[in-house]
Amino acid sequence: MKDRRLNKEFLEEFKPYDFSKIIENKIFLVGSITKAKEEFIKIESILQILYNKRVSICSVDGLLNKNMFSKEEWTILQDIALEKLKDHNAILVLDVENYIGNETREEIEYARDILNKPIYYLSELKKEN
Name every residue whose Cβ is closer than 8 Å to that of residue 106 and which is 6 or more positions away in sequence. Answer: 78, 82
Q: What is the pLDDT along the chain (129 residues), one digit of tens a residue?
A: 457 888 888 889 999 999 999 999 999 999 988 888 889 989 999 999 999 999 998 877 777 777 888 989 988 988 888 888 999 999 999 999 999 988 899 999 999 999 999 999 999 999 876
Domain annotation for the chain: domains and CATH numbers? 23-125 (3.40.50.450)
Local structure of 83: helix, strand or coil: helix
- The per-residue pLDDT for 129 is 60
Model-level pTM? 0.88
